[in-house]
């Protein structure tokens, strides 16, 4: 099932988690739009005994946080929460499409959390991955559920660090700044230097470059 709330809270909270009996985790993914790199998902369970900590109230959708705040919260979530990370490679994305790859990455993140006590998962969006427990998809869930927002932070920081590391080997695309998104700098890099093994060949700008290169031969 999926849930679309007509009234959105001013910040994420644990209202939905508290309405469910048993341990509840949050799932989110980062990296559906980039032309390069894996799609990364994270699964986070926030233990009951830390929900009152001050820093928990600072958790937001990762897109709304500064780099400094992301790093700060990422470190604390890793230290105090149970979490797992899952990825799908560019090859897998090209093979099964980005939506299905995002869902597979979520399934892997849940599995990698390595907890058999979770009874319910809250998932950002309107599609559900295959999971061994009940789940609810929540539209804009990273603005509603703190568990989902925490997962978005883990996923974003993990993916951003990977893309910045890849930028050291592939310096022509600005990945240290755009983390693979189709900015002018990235597109200019493709036009001048071609593509890398980390580009998603099924995405239109990359596919057009491949087709253009093949036609010019």
Whole-model pTM: value is 0.94
Alpha carbon separation from 17 to 7, 92, 122, 140 (Å, rounded): 17, 32, 8, 15
Q: What is the pLDDT of residue 42?
A: 98
Q: What is the pLDDT of residue 214?
A: 81
35 φ, ψ to 5°? -90, -10
pLDDT reading at 6 higher than 50: no
Q: Tell me if 74 sits within 8 A of 67, measured CB to CB.
A: no
CA–CA distance, 169 with 14 (Å, rounded to integer): 41
Cβ neighbour number for residue 217 with a 10 Å cutoff:
4
112 φ, ψ to 5°? -70, -15
Q: What is the pLDDT of residue 2?
A: 52
List of E strands, the chain:
2-3, 23-30, 39-45, 82-88, 118-124, 134-138
pLDDT reading at 7 higher than 70: no
Q: Which two tokens stand for residue 83?
A: 């979490």
Average pLDDT, the chain: 94
pLDDT reading at 13 higher than 50: yes
Q: What are the residue ranges spanned by the domains of the chain?
A: 2-168, 169-215
**What percent of the chain lies above the pLDDT cut of 70?**
94
* Mean pLDDT of the 171-178 span: 98
Q: Which two tokens stand for residue 182?
A: 């189709």
> In this predicted structure, which of 3-12, 15-24, 145-154 has the lowest mean pLDDT?
3-12
CA–CA distance, 51 with 13 (Å, rounded to integer): 10
**β-pair type (39-45, 82-88):** antiparallel
The CATH class of the 2-168 domain is alpha beta
pLDDT digits (tens, 9 = 90+) for 18-31: 999 999 999 999 99
**β-pair type (39-45, 23-30):** antiparallel
pLDDT digits (tens, 9 = 90+) for 197-207: 999 999 999 99
Q: Tell me if 39 sits within 8 A of 54, measured CB to CB.
A: no
């Amino acid at each position: 099932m999926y849930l679309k709330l007509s009234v959105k809270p001013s910040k994420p909270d644990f209202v939905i988690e508290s309405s469910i009996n048993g341990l509840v985790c949050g799932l989110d993914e980062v990296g559906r739009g980039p032309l390069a790199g894996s799609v990364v998902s994270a699964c986070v369970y926030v233990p009951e005994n830390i929900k009152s900590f001050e820093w928990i109230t600072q958790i937001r959708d990762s897109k709304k946080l500064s780099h400094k705040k992301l790093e700060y919260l990422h470190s604390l979530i890793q230290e105090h929460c149970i979490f797992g990370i899952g990825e799908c490679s560019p090859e897998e994305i090209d093979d099964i499409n980005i939506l299905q790859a995002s869902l597979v990455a979520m399934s892997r993140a849940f599995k990698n959390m390595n907890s058999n006590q979770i009874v319910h998962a809250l998932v950002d969006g309107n599609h559900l991955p295959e999971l061994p427990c009940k789940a609810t998809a929540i539209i804009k869930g990273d603005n509603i559920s703190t568990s989902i927002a925490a997962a978005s932070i883990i996923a974003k920081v993990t993916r951003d660090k990977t893309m910045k590391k890849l930028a050291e080997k592939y310096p022509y695309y600005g990945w240290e700044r755009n983390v693979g998104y189709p900015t002018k700098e990235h597109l200019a890099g493709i036009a001048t230097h071609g593509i890398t093994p980390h580009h998603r060949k099924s995405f239109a700008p990359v596919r057009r470059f491949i087709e253009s290169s093949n036609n010019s031969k």
